[in-house]
Amino acid sequence: MKSPAILVEGLKKNFGSVEALKGVDFEVPEGTIFGLLGPNGAGKTTAVRILSTIIKPTGGRAMVLGYDVEKNPGEVRLRIGLAGQSAAVDPNLTGRENLKLIGTLAQLPRRAINSRADELLDRFQLVEAANRPIRTYSGGMRRRLDVAAALVGKPAVIFLDEPTTGLDIQSRTELWRVIEELVAEGSTVLLTTQYLEEADVLADRIAVVHGGVVVANDTAAALKARLGSTVIELTLHSDEEARRAQSLLARLVADHPEREGVRVRLSTAEAPRVLTQVLRSLDANDINALGITVRDPSLDDVFLALTGHHVEEKQDAPGKPAKGRKGHRKTPAIEEAAKAVDEWIGGIEQGKQPAVPEVAAFDERWHEDEDELEGEPQTEELTDGLSDDAAARLQSILTRLPYKAGSGDVQLHLREVAEAALSYYRDATAGRELDMKPVAGYLALEQRFGRISEEASAEQAASLLIGAAVAKAVGLGSSSGPPNGEAADFAEGAVRILLDGIGERV
C-alpha cells in the first residue's frame, strides 16, 4: 500500500491559552481531494498553516509526502502549493509579475518561469489582465490568480484554504473545475471550506472539524446518509403550537424532530413522502405553519447532527491574526421596524388583527398586486446591469419564485425580499450606502423569531437574511415543483455575493 500524501496524527496547536487544535488525526491518499469542513475558528486554517510549514505544531505529527513538517520543512516546501486565506498576492504587482515572483521563490529555473506564468495565466483565463496590477482585479480574478500562484512550482500537494469563500457562483464553478483538473493530473489537494456543498462536490473524503477536533471523517455520501438527505423545517406561530407539531411529526419519521422555539426541524431521506404526510397531518390537526422550508442539509445541520450544537461563529479565529471589526450597529430603520413587529406579533398573540402601519402597508400592497403578479413578473429592471448569462439565470429563477411563503396571517413576501437582495447587492458592489429600509421589516421579523442573533451587525444580518430568504423562496419553489439544483445554486450564490459585499465593507 502506498503511503499517504498527507498524514496527521494527534496534531495539537495552542495559541497562548487557546487550544486551536486539540489532537487532530487524518490522512489523505495521493491523488485525492480531502475536504476539511468547519465554521470559522474550527481549526481548519491552523491545520493548513502547520501543514504548509508556516507555524509549528504544539504537539503531534504532520507529514507531507513522507517528510515531517517540523523536522524537514525545506523538503516539504519544495513539494507544496498554498492558496486561500493564509496566502496572498501583492496587490501592486501585475498578475504576471506575481506569478514570476512566486516562480523564482519556488526555485524554478529562470527559463521555465516565463513559460509557466504564461501557461497558468492562460489556464485561469487571466491573459487579458496579466499586465494589470492585482488591485484592479475583481474578487474572482484575484482568487484565480491566488490559486494559480499556488501552482507555479508544480507542487504535488496543494493546500486550498477556503478558496471560494465570497466568490460568486460562476467564479466558484470555474475554480471547482480547475481543482478537479489538478487532481486528474495527479496532485493531492487539501481543501478547507465552510460549505458542505463544496466539500460534497469536490472532496473524496470529508473531515468535519469543530472546536479543534475532527468530529467526523467519511465520504460525502456517507456523511449525507447519516444526516438524511433533506431537511424540512417548519416555522409556527407559537412555542405551544410548535410543540404540538413536533409531537405530531414524531409519529411520521424515524428520527425525532428537533424543536427550537417556534421552529421544528426534521431530516429525512424520503422528502416527497414525508413532506406530504407532514402537510396532511398539520392540516388535519388544524395547525397553520408560518413557513415551510425544504432544503439540502447545510453545514449547520451537519453540526447539529454531529455535535448537537449549532455552528458558533468565532469571529477572531486564533489561527489568523485578528482583523479589525466594527461593533454592533443597528440602523434606525431596523430598530423602528423591530418595535413595530414586536407590537404586531403581540397583537396576533392576543388574537387581534395586525395594526401596525408598516406591516399593514406591506400586506395591502400584496393584495393589490396579487392579480397583477399572477402574470409574467417584470424582471427587466432586476436584470439590468447583469451579464447576459447571469440575467438569463436570474430571469428563469424569478419567474418560478413563489409570491408568498407560508400561510395564515403572516405572509413573507419573498419575491420582494429577493428584489431587495438584488438592489442591495448592486449597491454593495457599486460601493453605495446600503439602503436597509426594504428589508427592515423582514429583518426585524427574523430577529423576533430568533433566527439571527441580535449581536450581528445590521448589514451582516441583512445579508444573511436576504440570502436566506432567496434560498427559502427557491427551496419552496423546488418543493412544489421538480427539484431544482440551479435555483439552489442561485440562492447559495446570492448568500455568498452578499456576504462578500459585506465582508469588504465591515
Partner 1 sequence: MSAVDAGRVHTPVKGGNALRDMLAVTGRNLTSIRRVPQLLVFTLIQPVIFVVLFRYVMGGAIDVPGSSYVNYLIPGIFIQTVTFGALQTAIGMAADIKSGLLERFRSLPMSRAAVLAGRTTADLFRNIVVVALIAGVGFLVGFRVQTSAIEFIGGLLLCILFAYVLSWVFATVGLLVGDPESAQAAAFPVMAPFVFASSAFVSVQSMPDWLQGFAEHQPVSVVASAVRALSIGQLPGQESTSYYVTTALLWCAGILVVMVPLAIWRYRKTV
Closest CA to 496 of 194, 251, 48: 194
Q: Of 35-43, 108-116, 210-218, 287-295, which part binds partner 1 (CB under 8 A)?
A: 108-116
d(C-alpha 346, C-alpha 462), whole Å: 23
Which amino acid belongs to residue 88? A
Nearer Cβ to partner 1 (154/432)? 154
28, 87, 470, 494: residue in contact with partner 1 (rule CB under 8 A): 87
DSSP-based three-state secondary structure for 337: helix
- Tell the burial category of 228 from Cβ atoms under 10 Å away from its Cβ (0-12, 13-18, 19+): buried
Grid cell of 209 as nine digits: 472539524
Q: Does 225 bind partner 1 (CB under 8 A)?
A: no
162: left (phi over 0), alpha (psi -120 to 50) or beta: left
Q: Does 93 bind partner 1 (CB under 8 A)?
A: yes
Rounded to the nearest whole angstrom, what is the least distance from the CB of residue 195 to partner 1 in the complex? 21
CA 370 to chain centre: 33
Sheet architecture: strand order including 33-37:
80-84, 157-161, 188-193, 33-37, 205-210, 213-218
Sheet architecture: strand order including 59-64:
18-28, 6-15, 59-64, 67-68
Q: Does 130 bind partner 1 (CB under 8 A)?
A: no
Q: Of 109-117, 123-131, 275-283, 430-438, which part binds partner 1 (CB under 8 A)?
A: 109-117
d(C-alpha 494, C-alpha 377), whole Å: 19
d(C-alpha 416, C-alpha 414), whole Å: 5
13, 44, 49, 237: residue in contact with partner 1 (rule CB under 8 A): 49
DSSP code of 14? Answer: E
Nearer Cβ to partner 1 (157/418)? 157
Rounded to the nearest whole angstrom, what is the least distance from the CB of residue 126 to partner 1 in the complex? 18
9, 59, 88, 316: residue in contact with partner 1 (rule CB under 8 A): 88
Rounded to the nearest whole angstrom, what is the least distance from the CB of residue 488 to partner 1 in the complex? 32
423-462 binders of partner 1 (CB under 8 A): none
Name the maximum alpha-carbon separation found in the chain.
80
User: Half-sphere exposure (CA, 13 Å, Cβ side) for 47?
Assistant: 40
Q: Do 325 and 506 contact (CB within 8 A), yes or no? A: yes
Closest CA to 397 of 309, 285, 485: 485
Q: Does 279 bind partner 1 (CB under 8 A)?
A: no
Q: Does 361 bind partner 1 (CB under 8 A)?
A: no
Rounded to the nearest whole angstrom, what is the least distance from the CB of residue 93 to partner 1 in the complex? 6
Q: Does 40 bind partner 1 (CB under 8 A)?
A: no
Rounded to the nearest whole angstrom, what is the least distance from the CB of residue 69 to partner 1 in the complex? 10
Q: Does 102 bind partner 1 (CB under 8 A)?
A: yes
Q: Of 69-77, 251-259, 354-362, 428-436, which part binds partner 1 (CB under 8 A)?
A: 69-77
139-178 binders of partner 1 (CB under 8 A): 149, 153-156
Rounded to the nearest whole angstrom, what is the least distance from the CB of residue 18 to partner 1 in the complex? 18
DSSP code of 19? Answer: E
d(C-alpha 322, C-alpha 354), whole Å: 45
Rounded to the nearest whole angstrom, what is the least distance from the CB of residue 88 to partner 1 in the complex? 4
φ/ψ of 350, rounded to 5, equals -90, 10
66: left (phi over 0), alpha (psi -120 to 50) or beta: left
Q: Of 107-115, 246-254, 385-393, 462-470, which part binds partner 1 (CB under 8 A)?
A: 107-115
Q: Does 90 bind partner 1 (CB under 8 A)?
A: yes
d(C-alpha 289, C-alpha 292), whole Å: 7
d(C-alpha 38, C-alpha 22), whole Å: 15
φ/ψ of 445, rounded to 5, equals -60, -45
Rounded to the nearest whole angstrom, what is the least distance from the CB of residue 108 to partner 1 in the complex? 6
Q: Does 101 bind partner 1 (CB under 8 A)?
A: yes
40, 164, 165, 187: residue in contact with partner 1 (rule CB under 8 A): 187
Number of residues that bind partner 1 (CB under 8 A): 44
Q: Does 53 bind partner 1 (CB under 8 A)?
A: yes
65, 356, 401, 498: residue in contact with partner 1 (rule CB under 8 A): 65
Q: Does 92 bind partner 1 (CB under 8 A)?
A: yes
Nearer Cβ to partner 1 (156/360)? 156
Q: Does 235 bind partner 1 (CB under 8 A)?
A: no
Q: Does 91 bind partner 1 (CB under 8 A)?
A: yes
d(C-alpha 63, C-alpha 78), whole Å: 14
Closest CA to 474 of 411, 396, 407, 422: 396
Q: Of 74-82, 367-375, 444-452, 477-485, which part binds partner 1 (CB under 8 A)?
A: 74-82
Nearer Cβ to partner 1 (89/337)? 89
Name the residues that contact partner 1, by CB under 8 A. 5, 30-31, 49, 52-54, 65, 74-75, 77-78, 80, 82, 85-93, 97, 101-102, 104-109, 112, 116, 133, 149, 153-156, 185-187, 321
